[in-house]
Amino acid sequence: MWMIEIPPFVPFFIGALVLLFTRGMLRSTIMIAIPIVSAMHLVMVPEGIHLQFAFLEYQLTPYRVDKLSIMFGYVFHIAALIGIIYSLHLRDTMQQVSAMLYAGSALGAVFAGDLLTLFVFWELLAFTSVFLIWARRTQRSYDAGMRYLIIQVLSGVILLVGTLFYAHENNTLAFGYIGLDSVAGWLILIAFGIKCAFPIAHNWLTDAYPEATVTGTVFLSAFTTKVAVYALARAFPGAEILVYIGAAMTCFPIFFAVIENDLRRVLAYSLINQVGFMVVGIGIGTALAINGAVSHAFNDVIFKGLLFMSMGAVLQMTGRINGSDLGGLYKTMPKTTILCIVGAASISAFPLFSGFVSKSMVMSAALEEGYDWIWLMLLFASAGVFHHAGIKIPYFAFFAHDSGLKANDPPNNMLLAMAIAASLCIAIGIYPQALYSLLPYDTGYNPYDATHVLAQTQLLFFSALAFVWLNLKGMYPPELRSTNLDFDWIYRRAMPNVLQHIFSVIWQADRTLRDALKLRLNIYLNYFSGKNGRLSILLSRNYPSGSMVMWVAVVLATYLLLSFIQ
Amino acid sequence: MKNDKKYLFDNPDNVKRLLHILYACCAILVVLDLVIHRHTMHEWEKLWFFYPIYGFIGCVVLVIVATWMRTFLMRSEDYYDNHTETDVDNDSLANSTLNNNTLNNNTLNNDIINKKGEQHVDD
């Protein structure tokens, strides 16, 4: 059947092309239809390799379906649909086309069966998504988009170098388990790590996502990091270093999130924190841990999308996103408030919400494998994520002091998108078996036993108590208009400053050197011209050198003529 | 258009009620810790009230450390918008007065940035 052979990125790319030539209702219909039709198609596709051809001496596999890739395939379709509904009110061809291409690239990457195809989509992800940042059309977003693009392309280049090394060593391009016992493995890990927002390489995310458009951030939050998580899960399951990297990722962003003022940047930090849980799961590498990582990625796309959508709605309706400017919006945006709280409860992993059924798998796996300290860090991060994403986001946006802002709930399409995401969060939380049946391994895990539920509820309620206590004591840091330095200070401030300093020193030295040389040359020139002046009195007082040359030519020509005559 | 409608949390009693519900839930959860038999996987988990205490202390430490981090990480809002260190103070002052309660502060900011950009040319 030829239909099977159409990889899921094709309808999205064709759709993007069609969008260029349509507008109005027709365009909206096409945009909604594409993810739905493509998802229905994907449900019918059996596992296996559906497209393969030879390129030079290598086998390329642009379309491979297995348990791992199809999970991400499903959730990317859901994310694309939700994002498209959320952005239906837009009249901006650039954003709509690039969002479509971006979703297609993500699907292309997760169904890629070889490293070269992966590389192509890896770079496409960067080039298509950057327009969602630039579409804000401000100087800030332009600069942030540039930095984002440079880092993303760098990741792609490292991936390409790693791929070439890998192909040379193993004589195959097949994308499967790679491991860390060769240079190629490390290079590929670094490339994945940059896109996955590993510590130190994480600032492209916190820098660019909050600068993107209201709807662009929703798309951005869904795809890039999850493609990287998928790639890690495929290539490096059980690599112990990932456990420590992931644990660091869960912990350090929450400190920044607590003091950050831009609420979408708070969410960007908590995105890193959630990806950290997935990376830990991949690093542990047992069936339960991988299941936990993959299902958490699935849930995170939905609940993080929901939170970004609710904050996007606030930004759209009030024109502000800083915690210091907002507050009291529950009065005029009640629906958004409720939907945001559902997202907050999901990311905080409250029982009966989606985060709980996936995060607890990673935590249990960490305990089972004897990573005690890692488990403690994850537990701290769980309390922390509730603190900043679960309480801080809704509290400062919708409650806290009354900012006096009067806004309405956003347009219906935005509310609908949020409602779909919120119902998925609750549905997965209540009936996790539906999600578990899609997972790569069958572990028979049940999140709803008394121990888990009680422990998690205690942890969360006492975190809330801590928030209340700190607030009543006046110890909670107020929201302040500020920029907080992070690692990006190194390349946005320190390195340019150092370079500027070095160059100014070089220029200074260059100038003094040249001045000295010029002076010396002048002296010599004067000396020679003086000498010449004295000589010229004897030979050529006022004949120009041009006539001298002519007379020399005439003499030589005469000489030549004479030689012929002879 | 004045909005005189009373909302849920305009009434301080309602806030108090909500807090009392929270305290009650916390108390119940602590009691449940004694009642429900938990099958623990780790010795720390066997400690009484491990999760409540860990959650509470964890969050307090988080907030205190984060607040402390502000002392050396916090800069003015337009820190990265300015090119040179010496310009920061003057412009942040100018900007903050402009920013106050102006809805379209983005355009204003950009004008300032653009104007600055013109002045600063690397030679």
Give the CA dihedral A414, A417, A421, A424, nearest 10 degrees. 140
| Structure tokens that stand for A311 in this block | 């904050």
Model pLDDT for residues B42-73, shown as the tens digit of each residue = 777 777 788 999 999 999 999 999 999 999 99
Q: In this predicted model, which residue has the larger pLDDT, A529 or A84? A: A84
CA atoms within 13 A on the CB side of A71: 29
Residue B64 at interface with chain A, using a CB cutoff of 8 Å: yes
**What distance in Å separates the CA atoms of residue A384 and residue A504, rounded to the nearest whole number?**
45
Nearest CA in chain A to B24: A461
Nearest CA in chain A to B4: A331
CB contact under 8 A, A139 and B110: yes
For residue B5, is pLDDT > 80?
no
**A471 contacts in chain B (CB < 8 Å):** none
**A32 CB contacts (<8 Å, ≥6 apart)?**
A81, A84, A85, A88
DSSP structural state of residue A400:
S
| Lowest model confidence (mean pLDDT) among A30-39, A165-174, A542-551 | A542-551
Q: Is B32 exposed, middle or buried (0-12, 13-18, 19+ CB in 10 A)?
A: middle
CA distance A467 to chain B (A): 7
3-state DSSP assignment of residue A179: coil
User: Position A109: which residue type?
Assistant: A
**A138 contacts in chain B (CB < 8 Å):** 106, 110
Domain limits of chain A? Answer: 237-482, 491-565
**What distance in Å separates the CA atoms of residue A203 and residue A224, rounded to the nearest whole number?**
14
Residue B87 at interface with chain A, using a CB cutoff of 8 Å: no
Torsion angles phi and psi, residue A324, rounded to 5: -70, -20
Vertex A231 angle, CA A16 and A370, to 5°: 145
Query: A-B interface: how many C-beta pairs under 8 angstroms?
Result: 165
The pLDDT value recorded for residue B8 is 78
Query: Could you tell me how many residues make up chain A?
Result: 566
Torsion angles phi and psi, residue A52, rounded to 5: -155, 135
The pLDDT value recorded for residue A538 is 58
**What distance in Å separates the CA atoms of residue A551 and residue A553, rounded to the nearest whole number?**
5
The pLDDT value recorded for residue B95 is 43
Q: Is A1 exposed, middle or buried (0-12, 13-18, 19+ CB in 10 A)?
A: exposed
The pLDDT value recorded for residue A541 is 56
Q: In this predicted model, which residue has the larger pLDDT, A431 or B101? A: A431
Alpha helix ranges (H) inside B1-123:
12-35, 43-46, 50-73, 88-99, 105-119
**A51 CB contacts (<8 Å, ≥6 apart)?**
A5, A7, A61, A62, A63
**A564 CB contacts (<8 Å, ≥6 apart)?**
none
pTM of the model: 0.86
Nearest CA in chain A to B114: A139
User: Closest Cα to residue B74, out of A254, A267, A260, A498?
Assistant: A260
Residue A463 at interface with chain B, using a CB cutoff of 8 Å: yes
DSSP structural state of residue A511:
H
Q: Which of B56, B68, B70 is the best substitution to test chain A (most A C-beta atoms within 10 A)?
A: B56
CB contact under 8 A, A482 and B74: yes
**A367 contacts in chain B (CB < 8 Å):** 41-42
Model pLDDT for residues A59-101, shown as the tens digit of each residue = 888 899 999 999 999 999 999 999 999 999 998 899 999 999 9
Q: Which of A375, A379, A483, A506 is the best substitution to test chain B (most B C-beta atoms within 10 A)?
A: A483
| Structure tokens that stand for A279 in this block | 């990376």
Q: Give the model's confidence band at A18: pLDDT under 50 very low, under 70 low, under 90 confident, else very high.
A: very high
| Lowest model confidence (mean pLDDT) among A298-302, A309-313, A491-495, B84-88 | B84-88
Q: Give the model's confidence band at B102: pLDDT under 50 very low, under 70 low, under 90 confident, else very high.
A: very low
Average pLDDT of every residue of chain A: 91
Q: Which of B62, B108, B112 is the best substitution to test chain A (most A C-beta atoms within 10 A)?
A: B62
| Structure tokens that stand for A506 in this block | 């070089």
In this complex, the residue of B36, B74, B106 whose CB is nearest that of residue A454 is B36
CB contact under 8 A, B55 and A383: yes
Model pLDDT for residues A21-30, shown as the tens digit of each residue = 988 899 999 9
The pLDDT value recorded for residue B3 is 52
